[in-house]
Structure 1
Amino acid sequence: MTSSPLVTIIIPCYNVEKYVAFCIDSIINQDYENWECVIINDGSTDNTLEILKSFESISPKIRLFNQKNAGLSATRNRGIDLAEGKFLFFLDSDDILDKSAIRTFVSSFENNDIITGITVSSKINKEAISKISQLYSPKEGEIFFVNNHFDVLIRTMESALTPVAQNRLYKREFIEKNNLRFKEGILHEDELWFFETMLLARNVKFIDKETYFYRTDNSDSITKNISDKNLNSYLDILETILEKYYINNTDNLTKAVAARYLQYLKKLVIDFAIREKNRLSDVSRIKLEETLKKTHTKSDNFSLLTHKNETYYKALNKLSLFPFQTIEKHFFRNPINSIRKQYKLLIINFFLIIE
């Protein structure tokens, strides 16, 4: 692009006094000038608000709002409503941007609904950024998806693209046209947001540039504090996709994609429940069994994935009808790349009997 459209960077903040200055500094130091930063203090009880006020006084581009605690989804939604830019960008308050991130996104724009950069897991301190690893992105590096046949979601089910909201430049017109908002009151809201945005978007672009540094050393992150709410949120997402995009859906292709994505999420949910079972209650385990059965889908005539993955997700769909103890015994993550996994697949498909 030759023009310099306004980009709204949305940052929800809750008790991030240790990290938020690094985050905002990375915005102020951007080599792209036409940005605004909508910062929402979500009822912090530490010194976060005082730090944010000090930054607000530095730059008129920073718009600070304060509210009672409402959660990440509600706060991001308020940020969308307050945004004035042509593009939206979500930034977590403990992460930082590469100095050229926004310029890289804007200069890569080709009438895309969504553009995604490379996210790098990192340890961040005053002296340096210590890179650990890149989150999953397309193997081709830079790639453009017309996405008429839900190519991004299919690629995700085939090779696990990271389902996050941040580090993506969204055309605001696309967000508003489709009335897209984060589901409130749950954790792991990015899983649902990713599905809905990539289901509806056309012209999705991935760029081969490191633009975002994700902090791994935040002890307050939800990934470090597991409870029943984590599992219940995943189950809520499964039910939402079932009800909004599978049941009563008259478009057979969309319905088939939703069905397979349900199985893809089930893989993640079951793996989570097995891994964290000692931190989850019996009540949540019972709800898991009920939801897995409720979100069982019927077979169809589409072949959207590779044969191995179609076979795997079909087996997982069947396995989800059994009690958790049976699921735990037979579950495995794809790919099917060993004799042991082939044997387990055979057992699920031909020898497990639903009573």
Structure 2
Amino acid sequence: MYKISVVVATYNSGDFLSEFLDSIKSQSLGFEDIEVIFVDDASTDSCTLDLLHDFNKKYSNVSAVFLDENSGFPGTGRNRGLDLAGGEYVIFADHDDSYVENAFEVMYNEISKENADFLITNYYKVYERETVKEKTVFDGENVVVNTFKDDLRLFDIGPSIWTKLFKKDFLAENNIRFLEGMLAEDLYVYVYALLKSKKTVYLDDFYSYNYSIRDVDGNKSTIHIRNKKYLESMVNGYFEVDNLLDKLNKEEFFSNIFKRHFVYWLTSLVVSDISDAEKRELVVAINPLLKKQLAISSEFDEKSYLPLIDLILAEDYDKIVEEICKIKKSRARKDKIKSFFGLR
């Protein structure tokens, strides 16, 4: 049995795949103890397909699976890979990033030592000109908890799935799977795992992953894609997470889970270039969740969104869109000033 199975959902990934696999081959844990499963979402570029076929032939511990139809979202590929995974532990990576050389050795040793259901690490954010460490509320503190209630700060950790190593049997026994056909699939799995885990390890001082952030036309990271499909898919996923809380009778933790995600979503809406009509449609869709949050906490963590509160509660969607446009113009002015003075 492999120690770790790495599941990678791919789509028109190109040369990123070679860079990713190189980081797995160089793992100090030993490449022979790692299984890599690429699940391709019906790529259309020959480079990706040729590389996957080549990997499949060249390495006995690397397999490539090809979906017949494009699902458009990573959840389908990740679930298919999870079904095929033969490792004791499983982790889900993006196709255009990489792991540091001792990532799996540290993660495997820690999760085995603690006999934990899953383990979380920190990560690097890799920009074109610099690499920075992600900062969290833990500020370098590592924790081991038997229940999420022992440290609710775990809900403030980003849901990005690539820094989370799961005991495969734990996922199977609790039927924890990714949402398909929508986004927030990583948040869903992370929340589900936290609520069910009988022991969770978080290593805030260990940076296992290089998260590449690109913002060039034709080569943008998902974080920079803010079209209607993306924002609507996030909303759909949020509702599924809310349904999960209801199913597990954990609604009391709604705000702990969603407070930072609603700020992220609103920010994505503000900076998007979609039409006002599309913005209104999205606001109508998410408003029940925003009202639910405001019933628990009377404000958002981001001060610039305070003018939206009364409008959200009143369901004044036209005014909400107007205010969002004002916020966008204000942000643009501030960004221009920062750029003029060479500030980030």
TM-score w.r.t. the length of structure 2 is: 0.78
Unaligned 5+ residue runs, structure 2? 328-344
Q: CA deviation at 1:256?
A: 0.9
CA distance, structure 1, for counterparts of residue 259 and residue 311 of structure 2? 10
**Shift in alpha-carbon separation, 1:295–1:48, aligned structure 2, 3 A:** same
**Shift in alpha-carbon separation, 1:88–1:138, aligned structure 2, 3 A:** farther
**Shift in alpha-carbon separation, 1:161–1:50, aligned structure 2, 3 A:** same
CA distance, structure 1, for counterparts of residue 269 and residue 294 of structure 2? 25
CA distance, structure 2, for counterparts of residue 327 and residue 262 of structure 1? 21
Q: CA deviation at 1:60?
A: 0.8
Q: CA deviation at 1:167?
A: 1.7
Q: CA deviation at 1:92?
A: 0.9
What corresponds to 1:306 in structure 2?
none
State the AA in 2 paired with 1:231.
L
What corresponds to 2:313 in structure 1?
321
Larger helix proportion, structure 1 or 2? 2
What corresponds to 1:279 in structure 2?
274
Q: Is 1:92–2:108 an aligned residue pair?
A: no
CA distance, structure 1, for counterparts of residue 27 and residue 309 of structure 2? 46
Q: Is 1:121–2:121 an aligned residue pair?
A: no
Query: Sequence identity of aligned pairs in percent?
Result: 21
Which deviates further from its counterpart, 215-224 or 203-212? 215-224
Q: In the alignment, which of 102, 105, 130 is matched to residue 104 of structure 2?
A: 102
CA distance, structure 2, for counterparts of residue 96 and residue 10 of structure 1? 13
What corresponds to 1:312 in structure 2?
299
Do the aligned partners of 1:228 and 1:280 also contact (CA within 8 Å) in 2?
Answer: no
State the AA in 1 paired with 2:98.
I
Do the aligned partners of 1:39 and 1:65 also contact (CA within 8 Å) in 2?
Answer: yes
CA distance, structure 1, for counterparts of residue 15 and residue 136 of structure 2? 29
CA distance, structure 2, for counterparts of residue 311 and residue 295 of structure 1? 11
**Shift in alpha-carbon separation, 1:75–1:144, aligned structure 2, 3 A:** same
Deviations 1:145-197 (A, max 9, x none): 42525355x3156xx42221112111112111111111111134223332222
**Shift in alpha-carbon separation, 1:260–1:321, aligned structure 2, 3 A:** farther
State the AA in 1 paired with 2:4.
V
Q: CA RMSD in A?
A: 3.1
Q: In the alignment, which of 3, 11, 21 is matched to residue 8 of structure 2?
A: 11
Unaligned 5+ residue runs, structure 1? 125-129, 303-309, 334-355
Q: CA deviation at 1:142?
A: 4.4
Q: CA deviation at 1:280?
A: 4.3
State the secondary structure of the residue aligned to 1:39.
strand
Q: CA deviation at 1:97?
A: 1.0
TM-score w.r.t. the length of structure 1 is: 0.76
Do the aligned partners of 2:75 and 2:180 also contact (CA within 8 Å) in 1?
Answer: yes
State the AA in 2 paired with 1:293.
P
CA distance, structure 1, for counterparts of residue 154 and residue 280 of structure 2? 27
Q: CA deviation at 1:102?
A: 0.7
Q: In the alignment, which of 292, 297, 305 is matched to residue 292 of structure 2?
A: 297
What corresponds to 1:221 in structure 2?
221
CA distance, structure 2, for counterparts of residue 57 and residue 169 of structure 1? 27
What corresponds to 2:22 in structure 1?
25
